Structure 1
Amino acid sequence: MPEVWSSPVRYVECDQQGVVFNAHYLTWADEASNGWWAAHGLAWDELVARRIDPVVKASSLEWTASARWGDTVTVDAETEKVGRTSVTVRFTVRVGERVCCVVRNTYVALADGRPTPWPDDVRARLTEG
C-alpha cells in the first residue's frame, strides 16, 4: 500500500499559463518522501545517529497531464527497487484519478561521503510490504 501525501496547488507553483511549473513535482516528491521513510520506520534522526545519509543520486520525471492552480495533488509513494546501497521510490502525482506525473528518485546510502550497503535491519524495513 502506498504512502500518501496531499496538498492544494498554490498560485506560486504555477507558470503564466496557470499550470504547475515542472520543478514543483520534485518538491512534492520530496515532501512525500518524509512519510515514505517514516512508514518504513526510518526516522531521519535515527538514520543520522547511525551515520547513514540517504541522498538523491538520480531523479526522473514523466509527465502525462498538467496540474493546475486550484487543483489538489495527491502523491502516492511506493518502493520500486531496493539495491545493495540504493533504493528507488516511485512517486505518482495525481489530481483525483488523473495521473499528472511519475517521479522516480533513487536514494543512495552514504557513510563518510561514500556509498555504503544498507545495514541489514534497514534493508529489511525497506523491503517490507
Structure 2
Amino acid sequence: MHDVWETTVRFAETDAQGIVFYGEYVTYQDETFSQYLREVGYPWTEIEQENWDIHVVSVNIDYRAPAEFSDELVCGIRVAAIEESSLTLEWRCRRRDGPVCAEGTVTHVAVSDGETTRVPEGFRKAVRDYQTEPPEPV
C-alpha cells in the first residue's frame, strides 16, 4: 500500500467527543483515491477525456483508534482487484505518530453514458505499473 495523501485534522472535522467524526473518513478515503490517480498518472481529467467515470457502489470502514483535532494523518491506498467493470481498493488512515485510525475498502464501478462499461486497459496498465503488488484479477 502506498501512502499518497496527508492531512491535519481540522476542528470542523471533529465531533462532540473531540474526535474525527466517522463520516469524515469517507472524505479522507476519497481524497486519498484522487491523489492515487494522480500518482499512477491517470488523474480524473484523463478519465473525463476518455468519456468514462467511476461511481462508488460500496464503502466499508473499520475504526481502529481515534484521531483528534490537529493530529497529522497519513493515508495509503491500493487497488486490490480490477474486475470487468469494477475496482476494489484497500485504504488505510493512520496518525503520523501512531496507530491506524481507520481502514477499509471501497468499490467503484466504471460507467460510460450512464451504462456500466469495462475498466479501460490504459487504467489497468497504469495501476499494474505503479503498484508493487498488482491487483487481482487484471
In which range does the TM-score fall when normalised by the shorter chain? Answer: over 0.9
SS at match of 2:125: helix
Distance in 2 (alpha carbons) for counterparts of 1:124 and 1:3: 20
Unaligned 5+ segments in structure 2 are 132-138
Identity of aligned residues (%): 28
CA distance in 1, matches of 2:118, 2:9: 37
The residue number in structure 2 matching 1:19 is: 19
Corresponding residue for residue 59 of structure 1: 59
- Distance in 2 (alpha carbons) for counterparts of 1:15 and 1:82: 35
Q: Distance in 2 between matches of 1:121 and 1:73?
A: 31
Opposite residue 107 of structure 2, the aligned amino acid is: T
CA contact (8 A) 2:6 2:75 kept: yes
1:33 aligns with 33
Alignment RMSD (CA, Å): 1.3
Q: Separation in 1 of the partners of 2:125 and 2:33?
A: 18
Distance in 2 between the 1:76 and 1:122 partners?
Answer: 19
Aligned partner letter, 1:52: W
Give the SS at the match of 2:65: coil
CA distance in 1, matches of 2:101, 2:17: 16
Unaligned runs of 5+ in 1: none
CA distance in 2, matches of 1:126, 1:19: 34
For residues 122 and 79 of structure 2, what CA distance do their matches in structure 1 show?
Answer: 16
Aligned to 2:103: 102
How far residue 103 of structure 1 moved from its aligned partner, in angstroms, is 3.0
Give 1:60's aligned amino acid: N
Following superposition, the deviation at residue 121 of structure 1 comes to 2.0
Contact 1:64–1:99, Cα closer than 8 Å, also in 2:
yes
Aligned equivalent of 1:113: 114
Contact 1:3-1:35 within 8 A present in 2 as well: no
How much does 1:3 deviate?
Answer: 4.0
Aligned length: 129
2:118 is matched by which residue type in structure 1? P
> Deviations 1:28-55 (Å, cap 9, x if unpaired)?
1111111111122212112111111111
